[in-house]
Structure 1
Amino acid sequence: MDFSRVDLTGEEQEFLDEIRGFLDLHVTDDVRRRDRETGDNFDETVHLAMGAAGYLEREYRSEAEGGFDRVRRRLWELEKRRVHVPWVTWGTTSIVARSVEKFGSPALRDEVLPKVFSGHVRLCLGYTEPEGGSDVATCKTRAVRDGDYWVINGSKMFTTGAHNSQYTFLITNTDPQAKKHKSLTMFLVPLDTSGIEIQPLWTVDGDRTNIVYYSDVRIADEYRLGEVNEGWTVLRGPLDTEHGVATPNTDGLEDVSILQHQGSYMATTLDKVAGLLSVPDAAGRRPVDGGSVSYRLGRSVARVEAALSTPNMYGRVALAQAMRDVAPELMDVLSASSVLPIETPGAIDDGASEYLFRWAPLCGIYGGTLEVFRNMIAQHALGLGRASYAQTRSKAS
C-alpha cells in the first residue's frame, strides 16, 4: 500500500480552492441541521447548485469524456466527505443513469440524462420487497404487457429517496413460470404516474426511506430497460456497484472499498473520543492512562485501521462489522452521557458515538446483510460452496 502524499500542481491547488469555496458556501450548518431533521440525505438547493456548476456531470463522466481527472476526482470526493454533503440520492442517481445510458432507448436517454446532469432529475432503486429479504431475484411485483403498455402491481421496501426522485429503477416479474433469474424485466418508472403511493419509513439512525405501492400503474414500453425477461443482465452492473465488488484503481486515488464514508466518520469519532479520554481531571489523572481504557481504546483503533485498509467486498464487511464492534465500546469507555444525541446539553462528545451506534446496524444491511456478503465471499471468492441452513438429523444409535 502506497502511503505517499500527492503533491498538487498549481492548477490542482486552484481547483481545490475552488471546490472548497463552493462547498463551504452551499453546504452550510443549516443544510446539515435540516438533513438531520428530515433524514433525507438529500438537499435540493445544494444538488441543483452542483448541477448548475457542472460538477454532477464532471463527476459522472470519465476523464476521456470530459469528466474529472484522477486527482481532481479524489479531491472532489474528499471535500464532499469533509463538509458532509447530503449525497445518497446522487449515489443512486448515478448508478441508475449508467443503466439508462446503456439499455434505454434514445428517446428515454434524451428525456432523462440532461436533467440528471442539471440536477433536476433524480433516480432511486426499486429492488427490495416486504417479504423478499436480500435476494432481489425473488421479485413478486408483476408487470403484465398490454399492447404498447405495461401494467404494474406490487410494492417495494427501502426505496430511499423516492420522495425526492422523478423515476425509480424498478425490478419486476414478467414471467412467473420461469426460473427466477429469467423472469425479470427492468423499467424506469416515472414516479408521478397514477397508481403510485410513497409512504415514509424512518430507520433507527434517523434516516428516511420509503415503502412504495404500485396499483395498476400503467407505463409505456419505452420505459423498459433491456429485453423482456433479461432484467438480470441490466441489474448486474448496478448491483456490483452497490455491493462494492469492483476492483479499485492501483494508483491509490480512490477508496479501497465501499462504506469508506461511514468508516471515515467512525475514525473521526474515535479520534474525538481519544482526545476526550486524554484530558486530565483536577487531580491530573487521565482516563486513557488506565489499563482497561487504554486496552479497549487501542483495540478499537486497531479494528478501525484494519477495516479502513481492507479492499473490495471484504472491506465492506470489515467496516460494517467494525462499526458494530467499536461504537458500543466507545460509548462504554466515555460515560453514561455518551447516550445523549447531537446538540443535546451534556452530550460528552456532542453525540458522535451515539450516532455511530445507531448508524452501525444500518451499514450492515445496505445493499444486503453482512450474512449475505459473507456467503458471497465464501462461495465466490473462497470456493466453499453454497451455504446450507437445513437442520441435520442425528442418526439413531
Structure 2
Amino acid sequence: MDFSRVELSGDDQAFLDEARALLSTQVTEDVLRRDRETGDNFDEDVHLALGAAGYIAGEWHGEDDGGFSRLRNRLWQLEKRRYHVPWVTAGTTSMIAKSVKRFGSPEVQEEVLPGVFSGHIRLCLGYTEPDGGSDIATCKTRAVREADGSSWIINGSKMFTTGAHNCQYVFLITNTDPEAPKHKSLTMFLVPLDTPGIEIQGIRTVDGDRTNIVYYSDVRVDDRYRLGEVNGGWTVLREPLNAEHGAVDASADGLQDVSIMMHQGGFMVAACDKAAAIVGAADPSGRRPVDDGSVAYRLGRSVARMEVAISTPNIFGRVALAQTMRDVSPDLMDLLGEASALPIDTDGAIDGGAAEYVYRFAPLVGIYGGTLEVFRNMIGQYMLGLGKPNYSPAKPAS
C-alpha cells in the first residue's frame, strides 16, 4: 500500500486553491454558529454561492459531461468536509436528482435539474412514516389516481423528512395498491412542497439537528410528477436507497470514502485527537494524565477502535462507525472529566464540546437510513447468507 503524498498537477493545485479560497470566504464563523443554532445543517447563502460558482454542477456531472474529474471531485468533497460546509440537504438533493434524471419525464427534468445545479432547487426524502420504522416498504401514505388519470390525491404523513423546510420538492414514496405485496404496491412521486395540503412541522433531535414531520391532506399532484411506473416504485427507490445504506461497490481508483458514514465518523476522529492532546499535556508539576496506565489503556483502546471503524468499508463500515461512536464517546468524556459534559460554544468545555457532541450525535448516526439492528440483519442475510431473520415469538419450554 502506497502512503506517499499525492503530488497534484499545476491545474489541479490551482483548482484546490480556488476551492479553498471560496470556502474560506463563504463558510464563516457566523454561518457555523447559525447552523448550530438552527440545526438545519444547511445554509442557503452558502449553497447558492457554490451553485453560482459552478461547484454543484461540477460535482454532480462526470468529467465527460463537463463536470469535475474524479480527482477534483475527491478534493472538493474533502475540502467541504474540512470547512464544515452544512451538507445534509445538498446530499439528499444530489441523491434524488439522479433518480429524476433517470426516471423523470423530460418536462420534469427541465423543471427541476437546472435549479438543482444553480442551488435554487433542493430535494428531500419522504420515506419513513410515524408507525413504519425502518421498513419503508410498509408505506401507508396513499396515492389514489383520479378518474381521468391526470392527477393523484395523496394522504398520509412522513417522519424524519430532514430539510423539508429548506426544499422545494420531496421524493415521496406512496402506496398505490394496498392489496398487492408491499414491494409491488409502491409508486414514487416528486411532489412540489408548495402544493396545498402539505404541512411541515419541525422536530429537534437530541444532537441539536432539526428534522420534520410532514402531513399530506388531500394533496393533488399531477401525474407528470410520477417517477417510474405505477406500482414500480421499488425500482426507482432501490438505487438511492442502496447509496444511503452504503451498499455500493468500491471504486477501482479509491477516490471515495471508505464507508458511507465517514463524514459522521470525522467528528469521532476529532474528539479522539482532542482527548489525546489534553491527556498528553503536562500540568505545572510535569505530570500528564496519560502517564496513568488506566488512562493510557482506555485512550489507546478508543483510538484503536476509531481507527478500525474508519477503515471498515461498505455497509460493514456503516455499522462499525455508528456503534464505535456510541462506545467511544462516553469513554472519552470519562477520561476528560466533568467539564467534557459541556456542549459546543460553552465556556469551560474542556475539549470544545467535541466528545459531548459525538455522545449526542451517535444515536442519530445509528438510525440514519435504518437502525443498526436492521443493518446487522442485512449483513447477516445478504452478505453472509445466514437467511432471513425469524421474528416469531419463542416457543415456550416444554
Q: Could you say which TM-score interval applies, normalised by the shorter chain? A: over 0.9
Q: Which residue of the other structure, out of 306, 312, 315, is the alignment partner of 1:313?
A: 315
Asked if 2 retains the 8 angstrom alpha-carbon contact of 1:141 and 1:173, the reply is: yes
Structure-1 separation of matches of 2:231 and 2:384:
31
Partner of 1:128: 128
Partner of 2:73: 73
Structure-1 separation of matches of 2:140 and 2:254:
42
Structure-2 separation of matches of 1:48 and 1:129:
31
User: Structure 1: any 5+ residue segments left out of the alignment?
Assistant: none
Asked if 2 retains the 8 angstrom alpha-carbon contact of 1:2 and 1:252, the reply is: no
Query: Which stretch has the larger CA shift, 7-16 or 126-135?
Result: 7-16
- Give the SS at the match of 2:68: coil
1:256, CA displacement in angstroms?
A: 1.2
Q: For 2:363, give the aligned amino acid.
A: P
1:1-397 equivalences in 2 (<5 Å): 1-146=1-146, 147=148, 148-396=150-398
Q: For 2:290, give the aligned amino acid.
A: V
Structure-1 separation of matches of 2:136 and 2:71:
36
1:391, CA displacement in angstroms?
A: 2.8
- Give the SS at the match of 1:73: helix
Asked if 2 retains the 8 angstrom alpha-carbon contact of 1:323 and 1:360, the reply is: yes
User: Structure 2: any 5+ residue segments left out of the alignment?
Assistant: none
Query: Which stretch has the larger CA shift, 6-15 or 32-41?
Result: 6-15
Deviations 1:116-157 (A, max 9, x none): 000000000000000001000000000000121100000000
1:283, CA displacement in angstroms?
A: 1.6
Structure-1 separation of matches of 2:259 and 2:313:
5
Structure-2 separation of matches of 1:233 and 1:143:
18
- Give the SS at the match of 1:18: helix
Query: Which stretch has the larger CA shift, 275-284 or 357-366?
Result: 275-284
- Give the SS at the match of 1:210: strand
Instruction: Provide the TM-score with structure 1 as the length reference.
Output: 0.98
- Give the SS at the match of 1:379: helix
Structure-2 separation of matches of 1:108 and 1:177:
30
- Give the SS at the match of 1:234: helix
The sequence identity of aligned pairs, in percent, is 69
Structure-2 separation of matches of 1:34 and 1:354:
19
Structure-1 separation of matches of 2:3 and 2:308:
15
Deviations 1:62-87 (A, max 9, x none): 12111111211111011000010001
Structure-2 separation of matches of 1:106 and 1:80:
32
1:346, CA displacement in angstroms?
A: 1.2
- Give the SS at the match of 1:217: strand
Deviations 1:247-283 (A, max 9, x none): 1213222111111111122111100110011111122
Count how many residue pairs are aligned between Structure 1 and Structure 2: 396
After TM superposition, which residue ranges in structure 1, 4 or more long, deviate above 3 angstroms? Answer: none
Structure-2 separation of matches of 1:306 and 1:40:
30
Query: Which stretch has the larger CA shift, 276-285 or 218-227?
Result: 276-285
Structure-2 separation of matches of 1:4 and 1:229:
51
Structure-2 separation of matches of 1:177 and 1:126:
22
Asked if 2 retains the 8 angstrom alpha-carbon contact of 1:48 and 1:120, the reply is: yes
- Give the SS at the match of 1:269: helix
Asked if 2 retains the 8 angstrom alpha-carbon contact of 1:93 and 1:123, the reply is: yes
Query: Which stretch has the larger CA shift, 386-395 or 55-64?
Result: 386-395
Query: Which stretch has the larger CA shift, 381-390 or 84-93?
Result: 381-390
1:108, CA displacement in angstroms?
A: 0.4
Change (3 A) 1:9 1:317: same
Instruction: Provide the TM-score with structure 2 as the length reference.
Output: 0.98
